[in-house]
Amino acid sequence: MDEYTALQHFITRYRDPRSQPSGDPHANAEDARKDVPWWKFWRGGTSPQAQPQDAGAVPEEWLNTDISHGISSSEVDTRRRRYGYNELSAEKTNWIKQFLGYFTGPILYVMELAALLAAGLQDWVDFGVICGILLLNALVGWYQEKQAADVVASLKGDIAMRATVIRDGHEDSILARELVPGDIVIVEEGATVPADVRLICDYEKPEDFATYLKLKEEDKFDDESDPDDEKQNEDEDHEEGITSQGHPLVACDQSAITGESLAVDKYMGEVAYYTTGCKRGKAYGIVLTSARHSFVGRTASLVEGAKDQGHFKAIMNSIGTSLLVLVMFFILAAWIGGFFRHLKIATPSDSSVNLLHYALILLIIGVPVGLPVVTTTTLAVGAAYLAEQKAIVQKLTAIESLAGVDVLCSDKTGTLTANQLSLREPYVVEGEDPNWMMAVAALASSHNLKSLDPIDKVTILSIRKYPKAREILGYGWKTLKFTPFDPVSKRITAVCTMGGDTYTCAKGAPKAILNLSECDEQTAKFFREKTTEFARRGFRALGVAVKKNDEPWKLLGLLSMFDPPREDTAQTIVEAQQLGVPVKMLTGDAIAIAKETCKMLALGTKVYNSTKLIHGGLSGTTQHDLVERADGFAEVFPEHKYQVVEMLQQRGHLTAMTGDGVNDAPSLKKADCGIAVEGSTEAAQAAADIVFLAPGLSTIVLAIKTARQIFQRMKSYIQYRIALCLHLEIYLVSSMIIINETIRVELIVFIALFADLATVAVAYDNAHSDPRPVEWQLPKIWIISVVLGILLALGTWVIRGTMYLPNGGIVQNFGSVQEILFLEVALTENWLIFVTRGGKTWPSFQLVAAILGVDAIATIFCLFGWLSGLPQEPNPADHFDQRRDGWVDIVTVVVVWAYSIGVTIVIAMVYFIMNKIQWLDDLGRKDRSRKDPAIENMIAALSKLALEHGTDKHGTESASLQSGSSMGGSL
């Protein structure tokens, strides 16, 4: 059908895809377990032979593919094994290597040392249980993280790019990630360039392939693969001028890479860059390299973080190191006590009362082997939950960062707003027909229905509301020439014919359109006033004018367009503010539009132009104050976003940043939690910590709440685990020194096993979301944990002390010191997690079931005297006869349970009181607005200086500090 018939058809049949039912959200998801045999459980769905470390140099013979045949299917696997998949995702995980990684780390090395010590002492039961604990923790952590990664991998298929490729002599549509170097692809308007592609020839002129080969043999093509160099060379004379001659094959939008607002013409032999959009033309191209080695891939790699886990890893290392130091201290104290009691190093071998057994016991109880695994499992379970909510967590520790975020810098378009322009009531010049004006506006729009600009799209679709305008478009129009928008003329023009007359239709910036016309002053005044009014109301105004034959231009009126906020945005912003996370809007729109949007979203209206931020004469403390108090910035560029994030961080704020383009990658990486919003480029996704597949900000609020719940689980577990370590260290070392007694090492390893078994379920526990940003208050955590550990140790000493009473104290009929102490320690330690988790939510079924299951096993141990060994002979001696088989009567077990409940209640009361103490509650909190005028002003002054190197007439080199202005003048 012809141009205008197709246009009428589009207006009639168009349906907003956002209003259509989504169906199965996983319908197009990539299967993470695709083509993997069941027995290769360690494999994902990706090539195990892929070598992401390959330098990216492609053999020249691979780039000589014939465009009519393409490469064969048999060659694809060979090339993929060398270069991997064509995507920017992180390096594929080797699950076996990751599993072995769960046996590395300072804490785990100490536990492995304990296993070797047990083997050296020939305590095979202890050795086996310790190895079991290590294996259990590794299996649980590995499985949970792999399960979460599989969910994330399956959801990533929802944002997969597709490409049209020539293989085995025919065209095929495949996922862009499946391309390999040397593939022949078809680049056409409306599509995204699926890789760095060297253009060969026009799709309609495949015979030009011979010309391409000839020029390639003569080395006439520029080998530069950098768009910045491409821009730099635009005004330079090429040696042969080959790539700048002839007609352009396609035009690509490189704005996300270079910031160019105009589409860039691409000629034969030039490179169309990965992720850029093709706006015009259709051509064959050859894939030069994989995405990882493309220009965008290299840009993304520049902002890749180090392999460490940053702040979270530092916290875990700090806690682990402190516990190891405490273990060494208590081992030293126990050995000093043992020297005074003349204990042997390793004998008697059947007793735990010797120095090496003391060391083994303290190593087992003092090192929380489950700490890394429980925290990893908690994060992995949270990541899987967020993935179900369409938020892909690419770095687990980003969850911990998000929990503490107290400022959110957000894009406007597509995040706060729907990125879906709507046309409001237009202004029509007096005496003009609104239907004629709307028809002219539609004529002065692109009619390329495959890749319509949002403004052209809403202009054309608005014709639905003007039936007479649709009739006008059906009068047999022909477009002779169409000139797209450019920043110089600031308008779109179309030369059309109808009924023997030629009409030049124009649509663009109001000032540019007004300058075209020759209207009277009164009309011009009204036009300018209406333009100002539209801007004040936050509308984007477009002027419309027409010229018939050689008549003067006639001003028709103004279109008013607006990108409305999402329905849930205002509520989402209120919820974010209630969570202590104010939103700062960063937009490229004019300041009037930005302020109007802020009013509609209940945001503050302290919005400033970006020029005030950098070129407004502000520096140092004044500049930081502006950023901190501003509600947003208008007319921003990527460097402004980076600067805003950096200044907020310098003031002590934890900052989240949203972005979607290649140029946003540095600011996404700079932020404490970078978030790539729905529809973002692959470079932005690669730089971000979290990628959203759902539109808008509501997912961010959900993610913040979930992150804080996860943080609460980890914090409660860490308090619990530190208290457990201190409990047994304090009690056992004091009992070793005072009464020359300890709990047998066999029972100790089961106490450690039970503690890990029960608390792995913490990852599935119900947790509350803190109403304000959270942070690791390590001084508070240590004070509370030490108090809880001391109370637990006192509780154990009380029950041990009663057994010195003439009637046996807590022992009702018969019993064993070892088993009674084992049961009391196991019960009070397991129940402590109910205390540290807080009482704002009920514990989950998984946690209750796990702890009750462990309590039942510990009770059976106690009743039947398992692993109790022969009775020890403490000094002073007990006043009751212990059973040699270690059995404990049921009445004594009930009393121990009742006593343990009483101890837990007392501890819970103390914990509650400590959390109500204001100074303790604020202990360790960081200043979220850390202001240091002296340092900030000094850094601002230094930033204006430059180090100038020079050589005097005698050849002596020297260097001096020069101000930026003087340097600029000398240059």
Residues forming the active site: 411
Task: Reduce the secondary structure of 640-667 to three states and give it as a string.
Answer: HHHHHHHHHHHCCCCEEEEECCHHHHHH
Integer Cα distance of 394 and 403 in angstroms: 16
DSSP 252: E
- Dig out the tokens for 736 from the structure: 């070793």
**Residues near 763 by Cβ (< 8 Å), separated by ≥ 6?**
144, 374, 377, 378, 380, 381, 713
CA angle (352 as vertex; 348, 358 as ends), nearest 5: 115
C-alpha closest to that of 120 among 360, 343, 358: 360
Structural tokens at position 674 = 């970078």
Amino acid (1-letter code) at residue 474: G
Compute the distance between CA of residue 719 and CA of residue 715 in angstroms, rounded to an integer.
Answer: 6
DSSP 71: B
Cα gap 793→800, rounded to integer Å: 10
Q: Within a 13 Å sphere around the CA of 802, how many CA atoms are in the beta-carbon half?
A: 15
Cα 773 to Cα 630: distance, rounded to the nearest angstrom = 20
Cα–Cα distance, 695 to 390 (Å, whole number): 9
- The rounded distance, in Å, linking the Cα atoms of 434 and 429 is 9
Q: Are strands 478-483 and 264-266 parallel, antiparallel or unpaired?
A: unpaired
Cross-strand bridge partners of residue 655 = 407
Q: How far is CA 922 from CA 412, 718, 905, 925, in A?
A: 35, 19, 25, 6
Spatial contact of 884 and 832, defined as CB atoms under 8 Å apart: no
CB 607 within 8 A of CB 595: yes
φ, ψ at 302 (rounded to 5°)? -65, -25
Q: How far is CA 45 from CA 31, 32, 155, 415, 779, in A?
A: 7, 5, 13, 32, 45
Q: What stretches of 667-723 adopt beta strand conformation (E)? A: 673-676, 690-692
SS3 729: helix
Tell whether omega for the bond before 876 is within 30 degrees of 0, i.e. cis. yes
Angle between helices 434-443 and 454-461 (to 10 degrees): 140
> DSSP 3-state assignment of 504?
strand
Name the one residue in this structure whose structure tokens are 């000032």: 511
Residue closest to 438 by CA, chosen among 294, 558, 609: 558
Contacts of 802 (CB under 8 A, 6+ apart): 808, 809, 810
In 3-state terms the chain splits into helix, strand, coil percentages (rounded to 5) of 50, 15, 35
- In angstroms, the CA 300 to CA 293 distance is 10
Q: How far apart are CA 748 and CA 742, in angstroms?
A: 10
Please give the C-alpha separations between residue 507 and each of 201, 510, 677, in angstroms, as whole numbers: 34, 9, 31
Asked whether the beta carbons of 199 and 250 are under 8 A apart, the reply is yes
Residue 263 DSSP one-character state: P
